[in-house]
Amino acid sequence: MMRTVSVAETAPSTYPWAVHTEKLQVRAGRHLAVNELDLRLGTGVHGLLGPNGAGKTTLMRALATVLKPAGGRLTLLGGEVTGNADLRQVRRGLGYLPQHFGFYPRFTVREFVEYIAWLKEMPKAAIPGAVQRAVERVGLTDRADSRMKTLSGGMLRRAGIAQAIVNDPAVLLLDEPTVGLDPEQRLDFRELLREIGLDSCILVSTHLVEDVAVACSDVVLISEGRLVWQGTTGQLTEQGGAGDAGDSATERGYSSLLRAYRGRVSA
């Protein structure tokens, strides 16, 4: 039986950017970890790069609506997230894999993803099919009925990706998704990213520059909570010169941009 496509699915989007921040400020404790960040992300796979403590995770948490912005504007899928807005509609379109992926150890993978799908207010009839599809897409079909506590680190990460994509999110936020994946799984994961990125906005936070080089179409580079540079992966590789640190063109571009930024800040 073919699925009926609803009017809402074919309606044109009424917003120019899936993720839009203007002078966004987010606190991590007392520290202002994201400071006056202007960011515009559309459809595609965006890699979020930056040194440790640059505010990557804090930014991801703010975009996932875990943290409330301390200032500025944050608009997700055309809906304002700042203030006391009703986040329900926006949150239905989100998928999020936290850096520390907490789970219920006694749940099986299927039960966990089902529970998350229920929390995401998916229609009851759509849940079993969507769960199976998500589990298959991350390659966990044969472990779908094992308890979460029996899974290895890489499998847990994949279960985390499955729960994030179960509702076919329009904005997918993945914080360090490739940690613990072996090289083959990493290839599969990149393939999955490219596939999902065709029609949704993915932001992948990582400090593995090579992941960004292959899997992402665009790069967002932040440092000390501010936007340093945004452009395509191709443009990033052109930034580096022979004198910059790094083993690949992307790494050289990364270090050249950071060095230039630090020079600007200290000057």
Partner 1 sequence: MTTHPTPALISRYASGGAVVDDTTIWAVEAHLETCAACRAVLADAVDPGTQNLLDRVADGIASGIAAGPAPVRRHRLRRTGVAARVLPWLVTATGLMLAAALFEWTFDSLPSLVLLVAPVAPLLPVAAVWSRRVDPAWELTATMPRTGLPLLMRRTLGVLSAVMPVLAVAGWVTGHSPGLWLLPVLGFTAGTLALGTVVGVDRAALALALTWCAGVVAPSLADGRLPAILTGNSLPGWALTTVALTAVVLMQARRRPHLLNTTSSQGRMERS
Instruction: Catalog residues that contact partner 1 under the rule CB under 8 A.
Output: 27-29, 61, 64-68, 70, 84, 86-89, 91-92, 94, 96, 98, 100-107, 110-111, 114-116, 118-121, 128, 145, 163
Cβ distance to partner 1 smaller for residue 15 or 104: 104
φ/ψ of 228, rounded to 5, equals -95, -45
Strands (E), the chain: 19-28, 31-41, 44-49, 71-76, 79-80, 94-97, 171-175, 201-205, 218-223, 226-232
| Residue 183: exposure state from Cβ atoms within 10 A (0-12, 13-18, ≥19) | exposed
Give the integer Cα–Cα distance in Å for 258 and 239. 11
Q: What DSSP line would sit under 150-190, residue for residue?
A: GS-HHHHHHHHHHHHHTT--SEEEEESTTTT--HHHHHHHH
Q: How far is the CB of 176 from partner 1 (least distance, A)?
A: 13
Cβ distance to partner 1 smaller for residue 66 or 187: 66
Q: How far is the CB of 149 from partner 1 (least distance, A)?
A: 11
Cβ distance to partner 1 smaller for residue 45 or 109: 109
**Type of residue numbered 184:** E
Q: How far is the CB of 64 from partner 1 (least distance, A)?
A: 5
Cβ distance to partner 1 smaller for residue 111 or 224: 111
Q: How far is the CB of 224 from partner 1 (least distance, A)?
A: 18
Cβ distance to partner 1 smaller for residue 94 or 221: 94
Q: How far is the CB of 221 from partner 1 (least distance, A)?
A: 24
Helix and strand totals (H; E) in the chain: 10, 10
